[in-house]
Structure 1
Amino acid sequence: MGGVTAASFAPILLVLGDEELLATRAVTEAVVKARSVDPDVDVREYQAGALVVGEIAEMLSPSLFGGRRVLVLRAGQDARKDLVAALLAYAKNPDPDVQLIVLHLGGAKGKAFADGLKAAGATVVPAAKLKGHRDRVAFVRDEIRRAGGKCTDDAAETLIAAVGNDLRELAAACSQLMADTDGRIGADTVARYYRGRVEVTGFTVADAAMVGDVPAALEALRWALHVGVDPVPIADAIADGVRTVARVAAAGRGDPFQLASTLGMPAWKIRSAQQRARGWTPEGLVEAMRAAAECNAAVKGGSDDRAYALERAVFSVAAARQGGAR
């Protein structure tokens, strides 16, 4: 590990957050880094709630025999007051041969401990759970990049739809994709790899129809009906897809985050609709809205063949886009 020296280590590392994968990864990377300098580094782990001051004093005190030490203190929010006081006092003048890694969930419990470590100059590694959809997309893309590959937003979206939101499962899926492909990950790659696992919804059908991809829309529609998706939400999704693109197109090519409050929808949905709006004309969107309305009337009005009504809507929406293409 070129460029890594004893002087480059943070004497105190505060891993702050409740996402187990990110916290575990931060500790692992710190230990690997320490061992790259000193393969014989002494690594010890403690649970803060079960630790007393006397037990940790020896580990933190200067060693007569030299050598690096890494002390991992888990569940720092559970540390008792006397231990917190001792560690904060130590943090003001840490031993350069010792790296103290404190894991803290980041909530209100034990907040004074985390704040004190920050004030003492601890290096903070964020490890909070990812709450937003865009954060998870960024996580997937970064996982692929870290492994030496490239991943599009669409591919990340498809992978999340197939695997779910758990970061451990997403990380494992990224690793598997990198092992089984050339590292250039597109939505088609993920769809082939996870065929049958991606949750097909009405929005899958609508998204494909709105970009004029009739084969993909029909495949998604037939699969959705085959696995028991009710025709009504599919018809609703087609109508919603057309309305969303029409509203976003009418708003112009503004920044999604600035348009979010005006349009009353999340920025990621606006960004996605802006991409699907390319190639549509106002006239084409009017035709698509008419087709979606007819589909809704047929599906909700008790048509004898609701599947046919949905397929006809797919063809009509795609034709409206092609007929109005510039």
Structure 2
Amino acid sequence: MKPEEFSKAVDKGELASLYLLYGDEPYLVERAVKKLLERAVDPSFRDFNLNVFYGNECKGDEVFSAAQTLPMFAERRVVLVKKGGELSAGAMEILLSYVQDPCPGTCLILQAEKVDGRKKFYAEFKKRGEAVEFKRPYENQLGPYVRDEVRAAGKKIDSAAAELLAYLVGNNLQELVSQIEKLCIYCGKKESIGVADVKAIVSDTKVESVFEFTDALGAKELPRALRMLTSLLQDGEAPLRILGAVSRHYRQLWQMRELLDRRLSPAELAKASGINPYFLKKVTDQARNYTVGELKQVFERMLELDLAFKSGALEGAAFERFVMDACRK
């Protein structure tokens, strides 16, 4: 079952007895669980009809017993197993028989980041229940995602504004939704959100500083890049998060560099790259600062930097050396 199919079914009240909600985007998984709980169990009787367990701690028999218990003052009981991909072999063996014959008055939910589909228990769960995977959206899906979230909040957002917000925040959906909520509050009764609104809200966050840093790198402006990096690190921004934004920016530059080498027209560049016109000129200009060979070296250095961070190297010094290499003319 696809996430959108799951959402529509839950809205209609068409609930299954078994759900496996998992994926590499924890925000979407958590939101799906919350949506299901709101529909499946009456908040007034949640103390009586909701049992929550953790897969890395619970025993199979206690989950089995809770799932077999009849609901009180309601038509359905919900049993939620968080970290459902970490069930022990013994717990899975006990619960396998329940999965093969679930109680019609119970909704058993497994919430997980990932599961081993080769194991009989999870294979049987997927076969007899509803398995919904929530994947982290790709960069080119963030703009539409922003527009959908804004629409759900009762407002509209310009295409360029949606792309700008997605570009500034990246694919951290928790942060993205937080910024959308701030935007909607900031705009008040105004129905449509524009680029100026995004700049007004995001400019006061660390996200804007990260954006300025990647912009300085792409332009090979060494003094500004070093100054922005120092500011980010002093503000407590996580080096790995900064590196993630840098990697995203250089992927765009590499893509554009290869398109430029094919001598495409501006219109063809816009279509082939999928980059919003609001950013197209800046990305194009910055891509001209690099050859494909230089970009390859930048990515090799980013890999070295990632390994250095994870091995406990001096983060500031290592990052500064990377910046100096990337901005070399």
Q: Report the TM range for the smaller structure's normalisation.
A: 0.5 to 0.7
The Cα of 1:32 is off from its aligned counterpart by 1.0
Per-residue deviation, 1:71: 0.6
SS in 1 for 2:110: strand
Q: How does 1:294-309 map to 2 (within 5 A)?
A: none
Contact 1:155/1:185 (8 A) holds in 2: yes
- After superposition, the Cα gap between the structure-2 partners of 1:90 and 1:244, relative to the gap in structure 1 and judged at 3 Å, is same
How big is each residue's C-alpha offset from its partner over 1:226-279, in whole Å with a ceiling of 9 and x where there is no partner? 9669xxxxxxx99x97995695744975995xx5xxxxxxxxxx122778889x
SS of match in other structure, 1:31 = helix
Measure how far apart 1:24 and its partner are: 1.4
Residue-by-residue CA offset, 1:198-218 (whole Å, 9 max, x unaligned): 3236859999xxxxxxxxxxx
Secondary structure in structure 1 of the residue aligned to 2:44: coil
Q: Classify 1:228/1:39 alpha carbon distance in 2 versus 1 (closer, same or farther; 3 Å).
A: closer
Instruction: Give the superposition deviation at 1:114.
Output: 3.0
Q: CA deviation at 1:173?
A: 0.8
Q: Does 1:86 align with 2:98?
A: no
The partner residue of 1:272 within 269, 272, 275 is: 275
Cα distance in 2 for partners of 1:189, 1:133 equals 22
Tell me, in whole angstroms, the C-alpha distance in 1 between the residues paired with 2:168 and 2:275: 18
- 1:180 corresponds to which residue? 186
Structure 1 residue 28: Cα displacement: 1.0
Which residue in the other structure is 1:53 paired with?
60
Task: Give the fraction of aligned pairs with identical amino acids, expressed as a percent.
Answer: 21
Q: Return the match for 1:95 from 90, 94, 103.
A: 103
Give RMSD over aligned pairs. Answer: 4.4
- The CA distance in 1 between the partners of 2:126 and 2:258, in whole Å, is 49
Give me the whole-angstrom Cα distance separating, in 1, the residues matched to 2:174 and 2:122: 26
What secondary structure does 1:125 align onto? strand
Give the Cα separation in 2 of the matches to 1:241 and 1:113. Answer: 46
The aligned residue for residue 129 of structure 1 is 136
1:25 paired residue number: 31
Which AA in structure 2 matches 1:49? N
Letter of the structure 2 residue corresponding to residue 200 of structure 1: E
Cα drift, residue 118 of structure 1: 1.0
- In 2, Cα distance between the equivalents of 1:22 and 1:144? 16
In structure 2, how many angstroms separate the alpha carbons of the residues matched to 1:21 and 1:69? 24
Q: Which moved more, 1:93-102 or 1:104-113?
A: 104-113
1:44 and 2:51 aligned: yes
Partner of 2:212, secondary structure, is coil
Corresponding pairs, count = 245
The one-character-per-residue Cα deviations of 1:91-140 (angstroms, maximum 9, x if unpaired) are 233222211110122254875433221111x222322333x212333332
Do 1:245 and 1:276's aligned partners in 2 also have CA atoms closer than 8 Å? no
Question: 1:82 and 1:183 mapped to 2: Cα distance?
Answer: 55
Q: Deviation of residue 5 (structure 1)?
A: 9.6
2:151 counterpart of 1:139: no
Q: Residues 144-180 of structure 1, C-alpha deviation per residue, up to 9 Å, x if partnerless?
A: 1221222344223322343344221111111111122
> Are positions 1:200 and 2:206 aligned together?
no
1:15 partner SS: strand
The Cα shift of 1:183 comes to 4.4
Counterpart-to-counterpart distance in 1, 2:141 and 2:67: 37
Residue among 191, 199, 206 paired with 1:191: 199
The letter for the 1-side match of 2:114 is G
1:190 Cα shift? Answer: 0.4
Looking at structure 2, the residues matched to 242 and 80 of structure 1 have their Cα atoms a distance apart, in angstroms, of 50
1:138 maps to amino acid: P
CA contact (8 A) 2:16 2:130 kept: yes
Deviation at 1:52, TM superposition (A): 1.6
